[in-house]
Amino acid sequence: MGSLSTNPLSPVTSPLATQKRLERKPDIHQVVLGDILFDTWYPSFYPDELVGKELDRLYVCQWCFKYTKDQPHHLSHIKLCPLKKEPVGELIYSQGNHGIYEIDGESHQLFAQNLSLFAKLFLDNKSVFFDVGSFDYYLLAHTPSPSCALTSPQILGFFSKEKMSWDNNNLACILVFPPWQRKGLGKILMGVSYELSKREGRYGGPEKPLSELGRRGYVQFWEARIARTILSMPGKKKAMSVMEVARECWVLTDDVRESLKRMGVLGARRKDGGVAVSKKAVREWAARTGVDLTPPVREDAFLGR
């Protein structure tokens, strides 16, 4: 990944951001994350006594997510922020310039609440920010190379996960911040969430219903993961059942079946009631769509697990 910088205080906009802004009620119109200015999409729950009922611009620290409506206060804070050199939490994954930091919401309540308040500006169907102690948070950070002008890690997004999920959800909330969307970073977060649940020995998936943006991301992620699994089977095995695919790639059976339907590669129903999926059909699908089958995360990049 190249430089993360954009023109300071030059708005980062997109058609989706404009559409979301038109759909929502006025609240906070724009946010400055460090020195990057961009539009918000939805209302959040920032306290009226600190932010007000409507605000043109909110300033948020890119390291600890503390917020203010006062620019001088913001500039003073980011010079001295204690998290400027290293994100909070434990580094559990490192690949190239990307790292994942695991945070216990109970141990870092203020950070988790501030992160959740910020995330709500871009999430429509998520509202829980006060019960952060029940969640773990996984921050995706970009660590600059020595030759880069930036000297501090930049948090690009995150996902949260319930510590105890009765539905075996391996992810509750996921967000790549708007300036860094459409760069494939969501796949890293999804890949880490599945690898963690695999290492815990349980099948899981994201909490549903998914947002429109989340659903699009997961459709691409599941299809590529499933195709990669099937095509990596031993050469002599020409087909496998939906259940076998689910077991091999640690994706819920329903998600596998729906993905295979979209891909158009489900075969005929077998005598045992299962449905076979042929490697040939998947290989043709991959060639036709040009899907990238490179794994978004590497197993050997996890630290101490």
**Residues forming the active site:** 207
3-state helix, strand, coil in the chain (%, to 5): 35, 25, 40
Note the maximum CA span of the chain.
72
CA nearest to 83, candidates 64, 104, 66: 64
Q: Are strands 239-241 and 173-176 parallel, antiparallel or unpaired?
A: unpaired
C-alpha Rg value of the chain to the nearest Å: 21
Number of helices (H), then strands (E), belonging to the chain: the values are: 9, 14
- The pair phi, psi for residue 48, each rounded to 5°, is -60, -35
Query: Residue-wise over 289-303: b if at least 16 C-beta within 10 A, else e?
Result: eeeeeeebbeeebbe
Tokens of 272: 């045992």
Task: Say how far apart CA 151 and CA 131 lie, in whole Å.
Answer: 33
Sheet of 67-68, strand order: 36-39, 28-33, 55-60, 67-68
What's the gap between Cα 161 and its chain centre?
11
CA nearest to 135, candidates 181, 89, 178, 99: 89
Length of the chain: 305
Q: Which position has the token pair 């206060």?
A: 73
Q: Where are the alpha helices (DSSP H) in 121-206?
A: 185-199
Tokens of 209: 């219903």
